[in-house]
Structure 1
Amino acid sequence: MNVDSTLTLLGAGLLAGAMNAAAGGGSFISIPAMVFVGLPSVAANASSTVALLPGTLASAWAWRRDYRSLHGISSRTLLAISFAGGLAGALLLLATSSRAFDRLLPWLMLLGTLAFAFGRPLGAALRARVQIGRGAMLGAQVLLSIYAGYFGGGVGIMMMAVWGLLGETDIKAMSALRTLLVSAANLVAVICFAVAGPVHWPATVIMLVAAIAGGYLGAILASRMPAALLRGFVILFSSVMTAVFFWRAWA
C-alpha cells in the first residue's frame, strides 16, 4: 500500500466508523474507498464488510439488554434467519464476477441510498395503510438477510420499515434487534469471505483500525450534532458516490 492509499483508507475508516456510530451508512464510504485504492469491486465489498464488523459487533453488545421477541417471533428465530441469509448472500457475492458486480454496484448503492433517505417516512406512510402478517414478515426477513450478506447498504432501515408494517412501534426495541440481526448476517459473511479469500487484508486492517477509532468519535459526534445534519451528510455523500459509480460502470 502506498502513502496515498493508506491515507485514503484511514480517512474513510474514520468517517465510516463515525457515521455508523452516529447515523448509519458507513458502507457508502468504505466500499468506494476500497474501490478507489484499486481493489476489484467484489473484494472491496468483502473487505469493507470485514473492516466495519467490529463496530457493528460493539453496537450489538451495547444493545444486549434490549433484545426481545417481535410479535411472538423469538429473537433466536430471527437470529437463525439472519445467519442463514447472511451466508446465502455472501456465497452469492462470491459467485458474482467483478465485472458483473461493477454493473450491479451502482444499483445497490442507489437502493441503499433511497432506503436510508426515505425508509423511515415511507414506512410511516405505509403503516397507516398496510399491515402484514408474521409469515410475510419472516419472508421479508429472509430476503433482507440475504441482501445484508451480499451488500447491506441501508438494510437496517429496511428491516425497521418492514417491522413497522407488522404493527411494531417500539423504536428502541427495533433498533436493538436490527443491530443484532445485521451484526449476525455480517459476522457469517465475514467468516465466509475470510475462508474463501477475497479479502484484501492490508487494506482491511488499515480501515478496521481507523473504523474502531471513528466509532468512538462518532458516538461523541452524535451527542453534539443534530441527527438531521448527520443523516443529510450521509444522504448527500452516498448520492454523489452512487452517481460516480453509475458513471464508472456505464461511461
Structure 2
Amino acid sequence: MQAFILVSGAGFLAGAMNALAGGGSFVSLPAMIAAGLPPVQANASSTVALFPGGVVSAWAYRDGLGPVGSVSIRKMLVTTLVGGFVGAALLLSTSSRTFSFVLPWLLLCASFTLAFGRRLGETLRRRWHIGAVAVLSIQFALGVYGGYFGGAVGIMMMAVWGLLDARDLKSLNAPRTLLVSAANSVAVLTFAAAQAVRWPETIAMLLAAIVGGYSGAQLGRRAPPQWIRAGTLIVSAGITVAFFVKTYGPMLSHR
C-alpha cells in the first residue's frame, strides 16, 4: 500500500512538473525505484505512466504543427520514431547494474539542459547555422535518447532546431510536443511488448499524473514563471546529487 501511495504522489507531482516546466521524470523514475522496481523496469514503467500526458499536450498543440526550417514534419517524425525504437531496444538490452551506473550521468545531462538549454540554444543560434541533413542526424540521436531515457529531450530538440529555424522558439512547441510523444510512443509499445512494465504501479502513477497535469496547468496560469523554474531546478539538482551519492558514494568510501 505504501508503494502505491508513493508512486501516486510522485505521479501527481511529475504530471504537474511536466505541465509547468518539464522534468517530471526526475520524480517518477526515483519513485518507481523506491517502490522496489529494478532500475530498467522502473524507467520503462515511468515512461509509460507519463506518456498519456504528453499525448494530450501534443493534441492540444496540433494546430501549430508545421515544418522545422526546411525539414518537413513527416521526415522529422519518421526519424524520431526510428530513433525512439533504437533507444528503447538499447534500454531493454542494458542490465540494471549498468543502467544504475549510468543513470546519475543521464540525470546530470538532463539537469544541465533544464538549467541552460534554452540559453545555450539562443547563443548557438547567433553564431552557427546548420542544414537539414545535420538536423535529421541529430534528431535521430535525440530520438534514441528519448527512447532510452528522455529527460529534458524536448528542450534539447528546441536548442538544435534553433540553429536551423529563425522562428520564435514558442512557435516550435507544437512539433516539440509531437516528436517527444513520438519517441515515447515507440518506447511504450516496445516496453509493453517486452513485458518490461510493472502495470499496477504504472497505472496508479498514470492516473495520478493526469490529475497532476491538469492541476499543474491551472497553477501555471497563476504562479510566477521564475518560481516554477526555480522549483524545477531545485528538485532536479537535488535528485541528481542524491543519485550520485547513492551510486558512487560507497565506491569512494572504500578507497
Normalising by structure 2, we get a TM-score of 0.96
Corresponding residue for residue 199 of structure 2 = 201
- Does the aligned pair in 2 maintain the 1:132–1:166 contact within 8 Å? yes
Corresponding residue for residue 16 of structure 2 = 18
Aligned ranges 1:1-251 → 2 under 5 Å = 3-250=1-248, 251=250
User: Residues 9 and 149 from structure 1, CA distance in 2 versus in 1: closer, same or farther, beyond 3 angstroms?
Assistant: same
User: RMSD of the TM alignment (CA)?
Assistant: 0.9
1:198 is displaced (CA, Å) by 1.2
> Aligned partners of 1:222 and 1:211: how far apart in 2?
16
1:130 is displaced (CA, Å) by 1.6
> Aligned partners of 2:169 and 2:110: how far apart in 1?
20
1:132 is displaced (CA, Å) by 1.3
> Aligned partners of 2:125 and 2:213: how far apart in 1?
32
> Aligned partners of 1:228 and 1:189: how far apart in 2?
32
SS at 1:46's partner residue? helix
> Aligned partners of 1:108 and 1:120: how far apart in 2?
18
> Aligned partners of 2:126 and 2:166: how far apart in 1?
12
Deviates more, 1:16-25 or 1:127-136: 127-136
Tell me the amino acid that sits aligned with residue 160 of structure 1.
Answer: M
> Aligned partners of 1:28 and 1:34: how far apart in 2?
11
1:228 is displaced (CA, Å) by 1.7
> Aligned partners of 2:93 and 2:141: how far apart in 1?
18
Deviates more, 1:105-114 or 1:68-77: 68-77
Identity of aligned residues (%): 53
Tell me the amino acid that sits aligned with residue 222 of structure 2.
Answer: R
1:212 is displaced (CA, Å) by 0.5
1:247 is displaced (CA, Å) by 1.5
> Aligned partners of 1:197 and 1:231: how far apart in 2?
36
The count of residues paired between Structure 1 and Structure 2 equals 249
- Does the aligned pair in 2 maintain the 1:69–1:75 contact within 8 Å? yes
- In structure 2, runs of 5+ residues without a counterpart are 251-255
SS at 2:166's partner residue? coil
- Does the aligned pair in 1 maintain the 2:68–2:164 contact within 8 Å? no
C-alpha distance after superposition, 1:76-98 (max 9, x if no partner) = 11111111111000000000000
- In structure 1, runs of 5+ residues without a counterpart are none
> Aligned partners of 2:202 and 2:71: how far apart in 1?
36
1:175 is displaced (CA, Å) by 0.8
1:172 is displaced (CA, Å) by 3.0
1:151 is displaced (CA, Å) by 0.2
> Aligned partners of 1:69 and 1:183: how far apart in 2?
17
> Aligned partners of 1:43 and 1:231: how far apart in 2?
29
Tell me the amino acid that sits aligned with residue 99 of structure 1.
Answer: R
- Does the aligned pair in 2 maintain the 1:68–1:173 contact within 8 Å? no
1:233 is displaced (CA, Å) by 1.0
